[in-house]
Structure 1
Amino acid sequence: MYDHILIRYGELTTKGANRSDMEQILERNVRQAFVAWPQVRVGRIHTRIVVELHGVPVEPALQTLQHVFGISSFSPVAVASLDIEAICDTAIQVAKHELAGKGTFKVEARRGNKQFPLDSPAIAREVGSAVLRALPEVRVDVHHPDLVLEVDVRKSQAYVYPRRVPGLGGFPIGMSGRAIALLSGGIDSPVAVWKAMKRGLSLDLVHFHSFPFTSERAQRKVEDLVEILAKWGGPLPLHLISVTEIQSEIRKHCPEGLRTVLLRRMMFRIATKLADELRGGALVTGDSLGQVASQTLSALNAVDAATNLTVIRPLATEDKLDIIDVAKRIGTYETSVQPFDDCCSLFAPRRPKTNPKLEEIDRAEAPLDVENLVAAAVASRECKRIGM
């Protein structure tokens, strides 16, 4: 019945002169989503993207599109030629399929092609009358119909569809530039990555480890999280970087209560070096204001002072339960709660200082050979591309 899918996008249509570039990015991302089905064809018409299925079942195709950012809604469609009789015949087939000969419906028509001889109200009247004649058991209900039968007349053909499936919204990945995201094995940072991708950021992920104090199972857990996130945004680069030496030096020379803040400052410096290499314009973290001692306003200010990049915190004002709800919805929660500790949790002080001053941080950091420690950590980097 349905051999095409019609895709709509919301915020992109308000972006003026940049809209064409953004539409191209979304079209590319939709095409990438169907890479496992080479027979699928993806093209663009005015303010719409059309997917030609060529034998691919419609339901798996619809599920695939529910993982593509930048789509406001989409519909399985039956295609008709630009002739009112052909449109009516197609609408009758769709109504039969959806209503099984009984129930209520209404018709909504749009004439995107202004050369078509009938205007939108006339198209709706003709289609509605044809359906009533062909299916005497059904009736019209304009307020609460069982089926909203939509007809969209375009330049080369008409589309008839029975429903709109909500999309993820947001922007297509790649539209907002590139950033470096710090990914731990916890609940928060994968959700922050997902939300950053939803706003159109293309991401390189960085995970800091401290072998042999963190286990291979902890790294495998992070790689599993990236596999899940790649289902939403396509293949993702994961950079694995050792901070074992940095933690050792902080433990030797710095006050215990400042350990976590000092470690995070070093992580930001390392991530900034990586951003310089990869042309990233921002850092993304899973910090939620006040959730732990290292995420007080004073601590966040102290950490931010270690980088010249914009720091994006998608979860800054989110409650933990709301973050958990998103983690469950996107599929990362069960993996995140596996009991394999990351380097930050193992390094946490017994009594962390919650309101460190920048002058105090500078004094605590003075014994560290910051430049060489950062360089050694960057040199330890191992990169994997996950989700191919």
Structure 2
Amino acid sequence: METLLLVNLFHELALKGGNRPFFLKRAKAHVKEALKGTGARLEAEWPMALLFRLPQEAWPEAKERLKDTLGVEGFARVLRTPPDLKALEAALEAVLLEERFQSFRITAKRSDKTFPLTSPEIERLLGAFVKEKTGAKVQLKGAEREWVVRVLPNAALLEVERHPGPGGLPPGVSGKVVALLSGGMDSPVAAYRLMRRGAKVVLVHFHPFPLLSGGSREKAKAIAERLARFQHRIRLHLVPFSEVQREIIVKTPKAYRVVLYRRYMLRIAEAIAQEEGALALGTGDSLGQVASQTLENLYVVNQAATLPVFRPLVGLDKVEIKAEAERIGTYPISILPDEECCTLFAPKHPVTRAQLSVVLEAERHLNTEALIALALKDREVVRYTWPGQKPLPKAQGEAPIMGHGPLDG
């Protein structure tokens, strides 16, 4: 018996019509990349599944990787035997030595129609074998344990351990999005949700260094490194924002500071999007959650951008967002203390129903192009790859705001 790994791709990929081959090709490449370095070798593939030969000791690492691999509906550790009932019984007997359960079921899938037994017959005979060996009862609905048997033309596969994948679409099939990343809980979840819909996400973090400490940057790096698990390659732009804030603080109405901060963040992010070849921006806004996220304020902030602004969390509350942050592993990083740009010199009573006319009048006193250029001039760009490589913290050279087309990778 050999240990194999069966990976099933997300069922949504089957609905893609004429574009299905493109989506499946990207999904399979994403799975293969996730398993690099584990010793997994592709044995067979079908339209919606991949079969790998896997060293037995590599199973725990492969399992952890596939739990975060977008486009995967589920995966299983399987044993391969000859296409023979006795061989399947021997494989089951070896597994039963390590398990205790009160109820079970056998599910057979016979793709080799020349096999002498039908699927119901395989289920009945193997079920009787397990019942005799364990004394457990057969239970077709809600069984404590299920084994899936697949009979192929030259082999039989017995699933001994199955896990769900994250589903979704593989990265890049839906284009590129620049996502604004704060140090809080919401924006990493929003970035993940964009990735899960097939967007290749580029992260932009605005920090107040050197006006305040560099803790915000370090948190952003840690979050980006975690998010790289889902996309495998991710780029983080670290943009100093303190000079923009100084100008806003000195020259504009106090109550409008946060709205103006956010408008300039969108403008700078849009300049980065043009360099990256991205067609949309993404934020972690949730409607009505804080003062800056009232409908009126979101409307006014949006007017600073010409690209679409996606808000994947707009209808979620804090409890729902926290649960997802815990599930994807960003929550322990997000709750670490830091100093965020939007809380820096924030007014005690910020405007909750901003008026666009007031904002436009305030911005007449600001040199918008110069401020955007200043913020971009001193940014750092950090690349992360996963699995298997450390971040490459070398900063890029100066990047003119509208100076180049899409960056590589």
TM-score, reference length from structure 1? 0.90
User: Offset at 1:237?
Assistant: 0.9
Secondary structure at 2:57 match in 1? coil
Structure 1 150/251 Cα, relative in aligned 2: closer, same or farther at 3 Å?
A: same
Residue in structure 1 matched with residue 231 of structure 2 by the alignment: 233
Residue in structure 2 matched with residue 67 of structure 1 by the alignment: 68
CA contact (8 A) 2:6 2:50 kept: yes
User: Offset at 1:222?
Assistant: 1.6
CA contact (8 A) 1:108 1:148 kept: yes
Q: Structure 1 regions of 5+ residues with no counterpart?
A: none
Give the residue type in structure 2 aligned to 1:262.
L
Q: Structure 2 regions of 5+ residues with no counterpart?
A: 390-409
Structure 1 376/169 Cα, relative in aligned 2: closer, same or farther at 3 Å?
A: same
Give the residue type in structure 1 aligned to 2:206.
F
Residue in structure 1 matched with residue 313 of structure 2 by the alignment: 315
Give the residue type in structure 1 aligned to 2:228.
A
- Structure 2 residue 4 is matched with structure 1 residue 4: yes
Residue in structure 1 matched with residue 106 of structure 2 by the alignment: 107
The worse-fitting range, judged by mean Cα deviation, of 334-343 and 78-87 is: 78-87
- Structure 2 residue 26 is matched with structure 1 residue 25: yes
Residue in structure 2 matched with residue 216 of structure 1 by the alignment: 214
User: Offset at 1:104?
Assistant: 4.1
Give the residue type in structure 2 aligned to 1:18.
N
Corresponding residue to 2:173 among 162, 172, 175: 175
CA contact (8 A) 1:91 1:149 kept: no
Secondary structure at 1:289 match in 2? coil
Structure 1 361/154 Cα, relative in aligned 2: closer, same or farther at 3 Å?
A: farther
CA contact (8 A) 1:88 1:126 kept: no
Distance 1:293 1:340 in 2: 20
Give the residue type in structure 2 aligned to 1:74.
F
Secondary structure at 2:344 match in 1? helix
For this pair of structures, how many residues does the alignment match?
384
* Alignment root-mean-square deviation, CA: 2.4
Residue in structure 2 matched with residue 125 of structure 1 by the alignment: 124
CA contact (8 A) 2:208 2:339 kept: no
User: Offset at 1:88?
Assistant: 4.2
User: Offset at 1:352?
Assistant: 1.2
Identical positions, percent:
38
Secondary structure at 2:322 match in 1? helix
CA contact (8 A) 2:69 2:230 kept: yes
CA contact (8 A) 1:147 1:162 kept: no
Residue in structure 1 matched with residue 159 of structure 2 by the alignment: 161
Structure 1 278/113 Cα, relative in aligned 2: closer, same or farther at 3 Å?
A: farther
Secondary structure at 1:341 match in 2? coil
CA contact (8 A) 1:88 1:127 kept: yes
Structure 1 214/200 Cα, relative in aligned 2: closer, same or farther at 3 Å?
A: farther
TM-score, reference length from structure 2? 0.86
Give the residue type in structure 2 aligned to 1:3.
T
Residue in structure 2 matched with residue 56 of structure 1 by the alignment: 57
User: Offset at 1:204?
Assistant: 0.8
Secondary structure at 1:49 match in 2? strand
User: Offset at 1:116?
Assistant: 4.2
User: Offset at 1:238?
Assistant: 0.7
Distance 1:231 1:136 in 2: 41
CA contact (8 A) 1:149 1:161 kept: yes
CA contact (8 A) 2:215 2:339 kept: no
